[in-house]
Chain A
Amino acid sequence: MAINLQKGQREAINAPQFTIGLGWDTNSASTGTSFDLDTSVFVLGDNKRLLSDSHFVFYNNLKTPDGAVEHSGDNLTGDGDGDDEQIKVDLSKIGSAAAEICVVVTVHDAENRRQNFGQIRNSYIRVLDGANNEVLKYELEEDFSIETAVEFGRIYKRNNEWKFEAVGVGMKDGLEFFLNKYN
Chain B
Amino acid sequence: MAINLVKGQTIDLRKNDKGETFDLSKVTMGLGWDVRQKNTGFLGKLFAPKEEEFDLDAIAFLLDGNDKVQNLGRTVNQNGRQVGLFEGDVIFFNSMRHPSGNIWLTGDNRTGAGDGDDEQIIVKLDSLDPIYQKIIFVVSIYQGRQNNQHFSMVENAFIRAVDANGKEITRYSLSGDTSLNGMCTMVFAEAYRRDGGWKFRAIGEPHQTDSFLEILKKYVNA
Residue ranges of A at the interface with B (Cβ–Cβ < 8 Å)? 28-32, 114-120, 141-142, 145-146
Within 8 A of A (CB), among B138-191: 179-180, 183, 187
Q: Using a Cβ–Cβ cut-off of 8 Å, how many residues does chain B contribute to the interface with A? A: 18
Q: Which residue of A lies closest to B181 (CB)?
A: A31
Within 8 A of A (CB), among B1-41: 6-10
CB neighbours (8 Å) of A120 from chain B are: 8
Q: Which residue of A lies closest to B11 (CB)?
A: A145
Per the bound structure, the CA–CA distance linking A116 and B218 in Å amounts to 23
- Closest Cβ–Cβ distance, residue A30 to chain B (whole Å): 5
Q: A31-B179, A31-B180, A32-B179 are in contact. Are A141 and B10 (CB under 8 A)?
A: yes
CB neighbours (8 Å) of B205 from chain A are: 28-29
CB neighbours (8 Å) of A32 from chain B are: 179
> Contact check: which of B7, B179, B183, B207 meets A118 at CB < 8 Å?
B7
CB neighbours (8 Å) of B6 from chain A are: 116, 146
Per the bound structure, the CA–CA distance linking A114 and B6 in Å amounts to 10
Per the bound structure, the CA–CA distance linking A116 and B5 in Å amounts to 13
Per the bound structure, the CA–CA distance linking A141 and B202 in Å amounts to 11
Per the bound structure, the CA–CA distance linking A142 and B33 in Å amounts to 28
19 A-B pairs with C-beta separation under 8 A = A29-B207, A30-B183, A30-B208, A31-B179, A114-B7, A116-B6, A116-B7, A116-B8, A118-B7, A118-B8, A118-B10, A118-B201, A118-B202, A119-B8, A120-B8, A142-B194, A145-B8, A145-B201, A146-B9
CB neighbours (8 Å) of B206 from chain A are: 29-31
- Closest Cβ–Cβ distance, residue A78 to chain B (whole Å): 15
A145 contacts B179, CB within 8 Å? Answer: no
B183 contacts A31, CB within 8 Å? Answer: yes
**Residue from the set B180, B183, B205 with the largest chain A CB neighbour count within 10 Å:** B205
A145 contacts B10, CB within 8 Å? Answer: yes
A142 contacts B10, CB within 8 Å? Answer: yes
Other A-B contacts than A30-B183, A119-B8, A145-B8, 14 sampled, CB-CB below 8 A, are A29-B206, A30-B207, A31-B183, A114-B7, A115-B8, A116-B9, A117-B8, A118-B202, A119-B7, A142-B194, A145-B9, A145-B10, A146-B6, A146-B9
- Closest Cβ–Cβ distance, residue A130 to chain B (whole Å): 31
CB neighbours (8 Å) of B7 from chain A are: 114, 116, 118-119
- Closest Cβ–Cβ distance, residue A92 to chain B (whole Å): 39
Per the bound structure, the CA–CA distance linking A135 and B183 in Å amounts to 43
- Closest Cβ–Cβ distance, residue A179 to chain B (whole Å): 25
CB neighbours (8 Å) of A29 from chain B are: 187, 205-207
- Closest Cβ–Cβ distance, residue B181 to chain A (whole Å): 9
Per the bound structure, the CA–CA distance linking A120 and B206 in Å amounts to 15
- Closest Cβ–Cβ distance, residue A104 to chain B (whole Å): 19
Q: Which residue of B lies closest to A29 (CB)?
A: B205
- Closest Cβ–Cβ distance, residue A39 to chain B (whole Å): 19
